[in-house]
Amino acid sequence: MIMKTIPSTPLILKRAGLGLLALCAAVLTGCGGGGGEGAGLTVGFAQAGAESAWRRAETASIKDEAGKRGVNLRFSDAQGKQENQIAAVRDFIAQGVDAIILAPIVETGWDDVLGEAKDAGIPVVLVDRGVDVGDDSIYATLIASDFVAEGKMAGEWLFKKSGGKARIIELEGTPGAAPAIDRKKGFDDVIGQHAGMEIIASQSGDFNIEKGKEVMEALLAKHAGEVTVVYAHNDDMALGAIQALEAAGKKPGEEVIVISIDGGKAALTALVEGKMNCVVECLPLLGPNAFDAVETIRAGGTLPKWQKVDDQLFDADNTDAAFAENRPY
Ligand code: GYE
């Protein structure tokens, strides 16, 4: 790749020059109405897709925040395909953007293209999903939840709720995606410690409602007589599973416990209606944090490799209709 051959010194100068420009812009425009540190920057956002309400909320948060800060945002939706996302990152590098925000579809396969970004002197801020790379200096920071902890929270809640007896169908996220791998790990680890709890089937519903419903229908054809719990790696698949349960004549939330992760309005509403029993939160409003990170990097500051987003758990004890109604996504 051409970018790899560019020597680092001129790039450092280039970045310093742009930093100065940004500073001038900040001084000229002041802090209000789109001014500030980010004003005038060009940032590429390589989004994974639009498969879930969560991801649409994340996209909206990043676009809104760019608008507020006067950042010129270039947006790409990879439509669930890693090759599209890699091509988008390469395009941003070729365009010489000031920074790249990347929500990586899967964990692996990023070494080359992120190495190219580093060689080009373009910082990469990872949002919402982590990567598995040989050299972690090829990205600046990761802003994301702890997905193992989320899965663990769900498993521990279920242990208490079920008294340690459960026949579970697990609906996994996109194969190879950090939240699918880690939400499975955290949950399965807890379940594995209790003899009366068993995962009777575990299959991917690709983080979307249609696939969640379809997979649940197929699994119900086999396991309708024994299933007592559905654990879905996100809200959308849980909502699809609820439709499948109802179509099969089962009462979600009563005959079958339903657990999801994300905590969007639709899931919290289902919780209040009694069709869902437990929702572990995962916050999608990462725009402010992402652009704070870009500005810190450009100001020469350092950031922790992982900025952990804190999540909580919702169930019938702490969630009411007003809370669900006011959920902004
Ligand atoms: O839970 C899911 C989405 O990467 C944390 O991706 C994100 C997950 C989120 O499609 O709904």
Check whether residue 288 and residue 276 sit in a common domain: no
Rounded to whole angstroms, how far apart are CA atoms 322 and 72? 36
Cα 251 to Cα 249: distance, rounded to the nearest angstrom: 7
pLDDT, residue 35, reads 56
> 179 CA distance to ligand 1 centroid (A)?
7
- Give every residue of the chain whose pLDDT is below 70, as ranges: 1-35
pLDDT digits (tens, 9 = 90+) for 126-169: 999 999 999 999 999 999 999 999 999 999 999 999 999 999 99
Residue 233 covered by a domain: yes
Mark whether 41 and 51 lie in a shared domain.
Answer: yes
What is residue 34's predicted lDDT score, i.e. its pLDDT? 52
For a mutational test of ligand 1's pocket, the pick from 47, 51, 54, i.e. the residue with the most ligand atoms closer than 8 A to its C-beta, is 54
Co-location of 157 and 77 in the same domain: no
Convert the chain into a string of H (helix), E (strand) and C (coil).
Answer: CHHHHCCHHHHHHHHHHHHHHHHHHHHHHCCCCCCCCCCCCEEEEEECCCCCHHHHHHHHHHHHHHHHHCCEEEEEECCCCHHHHHHHHHHHHHHCCCEEEECCCCCCCCHHHHHHHHHCCCCEEEECCCCCCCCHHHCCEEEEECHHHHHHHHHHHHHHHHCCCEEEEEEECCCCCHHHHHHHHHHHHHHHCCCCEEEEEEEECCCCHHHHHHHHHHHHHHHCCCCCEEEECCHHHHHHHHHHHHHCCCCECCCEEEEEEECCHHHHHHHHCCCCCEEEECCCCCHHHHHHHHHHHHCCCCCCCEEEECCCEEECCCCCHHHHHHCCC
Q: Is the CB of 147 under 6 A from ligand 1?
A: no
Residues 6 or more apart whose Cβ sits within 8 Å of residue 31: none
Domain co-membership, 31 together with 125: yes
299 and 276 belong to one structural domain: no
Helix axes 235-247, 53-69, angle to 10 degrees: 150
318: in domain: no
Residue nearest to atom 6 of ligand 1 (CA): 55
Domain contains 319: no
Tell how far the Cα of 145 is from the centroid of ligand 1, in angstroms.
10
Task: Tell which atom from ligand 1 comes closest to the C-alpha of 208.
Answer: 10
Indicate which CATH number applies to the domain containing 212. 3.40.50.2300
Q: What is the pLDDT of residue 27?
A: 34
Cα-to-centroid distance, 132 and ligand 1 (Å): 17
**Partners of residue 46 on adjacent β-strands:** 76, 102
pLDDT tens-digit series, residues 15-30 = 333 333 333 333 333 3
Amino acid at 270: A
How far is the centre of ligand 1, averaged over its atoms, from the C-alpha of 55 (Å)? 6
Predicted local distance difference test score (pLDDT) of residue 37: 83
* pLDDT recorded at residue 102: 98
Task: Kindly state whether residues 257 and 292 are assigned to the same domain.
Answer: no
Both 70 and 191 in a single domain? no
Cβ(273)–Cβ(279) below 8 Å:
no
163 plus 276 within the same structural domain? yes
- Residue 316 is assigned to a structural domain of this protein: no
pLDDT for position 162:
97
Same domain for 215 and 130: no
Q: What would the two tokens of residue 219 be?
A: 């699994």
47 lines ligand 1 (CB under 6 A): no
Question: How many domains are there within the chain?
Answer: 2
Domain that holds residue 223: 147-282
Contact between 129 and 78 under an 8 Å Cβ cutoff? The reply is no
Ligand 1 center to 3 CA (angstroms): 31
Q: Rounded to the nearest 5 degrees, what angle is found at the Cα of 277, between the Cα atoms of 274 and 278?
A: 140
